[in-house]
Amino acid sequence: MLNYEKIAAYFANLYKKEQMQVFKFGGASIKDAEAVRNMSEILKRFPDEKIIIVVSAMGKTTNALEEILHLRLKGLSTETAIQNLFQYHASLISSLFDKNESKILQLLENLFEDLKIKLSELNKSRYDESYDSIISFGEMISSTILLGFLQKEAFSISKVDAKDCIRTDNSFRDALVNWGKTKETIKKSIQHEFNQNQLVITQGFLGGTQEGKITTLGREGSDFTAAIFAYCTNAKAVTIWKDVPGILNGDPKKIKDAILYQELSYQEAAEMTYYGASVIHPKTIKPLAIASIPMHVRSFYEPEKGGTIIHDCKIIHEIPCIIIKEKQSLITFKLTDFTFITEALISKIFEALNRHHIKINMMQNTAISFSICVNDDLHRLDQLMNELKDDFSIFYNKGLELVTIKNFDESLISRMTENKEIYLEQRTRKNYQVVVKNEV
Ligand code: ASP
Ligand code: MG
């Protein structure tokens, strides 16, 4: 097992080389003026480094933009919600900049004008495309404010727009990366920026199609953006700055006595993200593993601490690991005409799932029913159920949780299911999974 000194030495060694590295700052790490100042303090710890900084939207901005979009689609007034979101960013600007620096506030006003125009032009029949055109404002705003602030702090920094660097297809809301094109563009633009500056900032979560339309990579996708930039520039490391000390064997906000993993193999980390460990986006690990780029998950509150290193190692942990995936729906497709669930019927369900970009988190069948646990995504699930309603009676439960325990034991199972209603349960030799509802 590594200890903190060894981890620090490992990274100090990496940081010495001339190669660039990638830092990702998520929403919580830039949620207010104090957090933004802390981000700048962290950057000061790496004075001679070339760093690509990937930023999320500030605080809960992405959720607020989703809310604005849904109000608009329902034909309700968006004015108050827009005003609140504007005010949140404007007051952040007023704490970070002097009164006479009105330039950043002007840029914010321009972005909100664009947002209002985009909202007025929405095409209701193209929900996914509309979603990306609105939700992307969160990262456009945060990168603009942070660029201004870091320049004011005398960093040598410039910005590239992720939509011009990360080329995707047009599967809006879950866009697929064209790796060849993306590598070409990123290499060129990053090289150009680093010829003039020490730091480059860009937006997480966003990409762009060949026609110049903005796309998003899936919720919480900024980690993936960091991995894309690292892969395409052959960076020496990626660091994800979080509000937790690293990767633990359970979410410390929900489980007491959680233990920090000092190192994890790519394999084990990828498996944890699959089950819903929200600490890293599921698509992040693969590009890093292919290029053998280590990823460091560490605390922005305690930047001197070691955190977790995900890299090429052979360690397999035997301690239990609890992963809770919230906002789950359980859908059961049932036959009521005395026939059974056949492969042909299952493939019909799978084809529809694939068409609507819905991922299965758990599934089970009986003679006459097929059940899937999926993320709550009303829009996609509505389309799915509509399409299959002539073949099945469909039952739908929302607001559930999927709990996965790797290396489970019976006492942990009782603890995690206490006072909960069990909807679906499965176990293998090492893994236990259950779909539950909190009893009220
Ligand atoms: N802002 C986006 C989201 O909240 C992407 C991210 O934070 O990684 O989903
Ligand atoms: Mg976020």
Whether residue 293 is predicted with pLDDT greater than 90 in this model: the reply is yes
Residue 255: the pLDDT is 79
- What's the whole-model pTM score? 0.90
**1, 50, 170 from 219: Cα distances, Å:** 34, 28, 16
Residues 6+ apart with CB under 8 A from 115: 82, 134, 137
Whether residue 63 is predicted with pLDDT greater than 70 in this model: the reply is yes
Residue 9: the pLDDT is 64
**In Å, how far from its chain's centre is CA 397?**
25
Residue nearest ligand 1's atom 3 by CA: 220
Residue 67: the pLDDT is 97
**pLDDT tens, 353-401?**
999 999 999 999 999 999 999 999 888 999 999 999 999 999 999 999 9
What's the pLDDT band for 124 if we cut at 50, 70, 90?
confident
Whether residue 12 is predicted with pLDDT greater than 90 in this model: the reply is no
**CA–CA separation, 152 vs 90, rounded Å?**
17
What is the mean predicted confidence (pLDDT) over 278-293?
A: 92
* Total count of residues recorded for the chain: 440
What's the pLDDT band for 10 if we cut at 50, 70, 90?
low
Percent of the chain with pLDDT over 90: 84
**pLDDT tens, 143-200?**
999 999 999 999 999 999 999 999 999 999 999 999 999 999 999 999 999 999 999 9
Helix or strand holding residue 365 (H, E)? strand 360-365
Which residue of 220, 240, 243 sits with most ligand 1 atoms within 8 Å of its CB, as the best mutation to test the pocket?
Answer: 220
Residue 17: the pLDDT is 54
**pLDDT tens, 77-123?**
999 999 999 999 999 999 999 877 779 999 999 999 999 999 999 98
**CA–CA separation, 408 vs 430, rounded Å?**
6
Residue nearest ligand 1's atom 2 by CA: 220
**CA–CA separation, 168 vs 96, rounded Å?**
35
Which residue of 67, 222, 243, 278 sits with most ligand 1 atoms within 8 Å of its CB, as the best mutation to test the pocket?
Answer: 222
Q: Which residue has the higher pLDDT, 18 or 378?
A: 378
Q: Which two tokens stand for residue 429?
A: 């030799």
**pLDDT tens, 306-335?**
899 999 999 989 999 999 999 999 999 999
| Listed residue (264, 298, 300, 270) closest to 284, CA to CA | 270
Residue 363: the pLDDT is 97
Ligand 1 close to Cβ of residue 306 (< 6 A): no
Kindly tell me the burial class for residue 127, based on how many C-beta atoms sit within 10 Å of its own C-beta (0-12, 13-18, 19 or more): middle
Asked if 167 and 212 touch (Cβ cutoff 8 Å), the reply is no
Phi-psi map region of 38: left, alpha, beta (phi>0 left; psi -120 to 50 alpha): alpha
Tell me the residue type at 294.
Answer: P
Helix or strand holding residue 5 (H, E)? helix 4-16
Residue 4: the pLDDT is 60
User: What is the rounded radius of gyration, in angstroms, for the C-alpha atoms of the chain?
Assistant: 23
Q: Please report how the helices 222-233 and 179-194 are oriented relative to each other, as an axis angle in degrees rounded to 10.
A: 80
Ligand nearest to the CA of 216: 1
Ligand 1 close to Cβ of residue 221 (< 6 A): yes
Whether residue 14 is predicted with pLDDT greater than 70 in this model: the reply is no
**Cα–ligand 2 centroid distance for 60 (angstroms):** 7
Domains in the chain: ranges and CATH: 9-242 (3.40.1160.10), 321-438 (3.30.2130.10)
What is the mean predicted confidence (pLDDT) over 229-252?
A: 93
State the DSSP code for 312: S
| Listed residue (419, 412, 413) closest to 434, CA to CA | 413
> Which atom of ligand 1 sits closest to the CA of residue 219?
9
What is the mean predicted confidence (pLDDT) over 4-23?
A: 69
Ligand nearest to the CA of 205: 1
Whether residue 2 is predicted with pLDDT greater than 60 in this model: the reply is no
Beta bridge partners of 360: 374
What's the pLDDT band for 438 if we cut at 50, 70, 90?
confident
Mean pLDDT of the chain: 93
Whether residue 235 is predicted with pLDDT greater than 90 in this model: the reply is yes
Q: Which two tokens stand for residue 405?
A: 């325990």
User: CA 234, 239, 240: angle at the middle one, nearest 5?
Assistant: 130
**CA–CA separation, 168 vs 323, rounded Å?**
30
Ligand 1 close to Cβ of residue 250 (< 6 A): no
Residue 5: the pLDDT is 63
What is the mean predicted confidence (pLDDT) over 23-52?
A: 96
**24, 58, 123, 141, 417 from 37: Cα distances, Å:** 15, 13, 39, 17, 41
Asked if 263 and 309 touch (Cβ cutoff 8 Å), the reply is yes
